[in-house]
Amino acid sequence: MRNLILFIRRYFNLLLFITIELVCLNQVFTQNPFQQTVFLQFSEEWMGNLYQRYHRIMSYFHLKEVNDSLLAENARLRNALRNNFTRPDTSQIVVRDTAQHRQYLYLPAEVVNNSIIHASNYFTIHRGRLEGVEPHMGVISPNGVAGVVVQVSNHYALVMSLLHKESRISVRLKRTGDIGYVYWDGHNSYTAILADIPRSVNLYRNDTVVTSGFSIMFPPGLPVGFVEKIAHQPASNFQIARIRLATNFSRLRYVYVIKNFDAAEQTQIESNIPKP
């Protein structure tokens, strides 16, 4: 209380001046419609800017929650796509079974670690064995192929990035359907090599390269990249091309792990192929 009295005594003149000014301003704005209108417009504009800044700040703090909800919604939409289901061929019987069988399921996950500067790059996702992830599952970004799961723990999984010297992805040209494969040559994190395309095929810049569907990891038609430069191999029936990858690995944040329900059955039947 003593400090308050000392403060008032010390700044009495200033406090008196501010009080008189406030009283005068109140009289001006209450007694004059024009000044009152101007003040209300100014206060509304000022409060509007204040609320707008507050909204931007709060939106920033809710970005992760929004991203998580969008990721879940995208996974739900991907899981509803028709090409995630297979229809058994029942043409040998009179009554056709029209029931569809789900083959692919997309599991959303967050990338918690990533590398793009080494010859053998990996990234880690926060989703593991207890959340349905297993080795040899394909991983895609919202834009295209990203890698393949190689190791899993209860809640994390290690993914061999497409930016890996041993990565090989079976692909096809979307325009012609010709088969080849994509590998990374370590040139940079934005491009890779498309190989084993027959010389008889006319390649064009910006041709779309998609997954072939010949592996258990990726369904057909997922984007892999786009042709940039074409090179013919001397004394070879094939040509190669440098492609621009669909996935931007330097900004990889959220991905989808692809569960193929038919993977075990396909692997088992293919393991019985007679050796030459």
* pLDDT digit string, tens, across residues 200-240: 899 999 999 999 999 999 999 999 999 999 987 777 888 99
- Both tokens assigned to 29: 């704005």
State whether CATH 2.40.10.340 applies to domain 67-84+102-261. Answer: yes
pLDDT value at 256 more than 90: yes
Instruction: State how far the Cα of 172 lies from the Cα of 238, in Å rounded to an integer.
Output: 14
Handedness of CA 34, 38, 44, 47 (dihedral sign): negative
Instruction: State how far the Cα of 119 lies from the Cα of 263, in Å rounded to an integer.
Output: 29
pLDDT of 98: 47
50: how many CB neighbours lie within 10 A of its CB? 10
- Both tokens assigned to 11: 């700044």
- Quick one: which of 199, 201, 209, 193 has its CA closest to 242? 193
Contact 197, 184 (CB under 8 A): no
Higher pLDDT, 64 or 221: 221
Higher pLDDT, 70 or 108: 108
Percent of the chain with pLDDT over 70: 73
* Among 3-7, 129-133, 145-149, the least confident range: 3-7
pLDDT value at 78 more than 60: yes
pLDDT value at 96 more than 50: no
pLDDT value at 143 more than 60: yes
Entry pTM:
0.69
Instruction: State how far the Cα of 208 lies from the Cα of 175, in Å rounded to an integer.
Output: 7
Domain boundaries, the chain: 2-61, 67-84+102-261
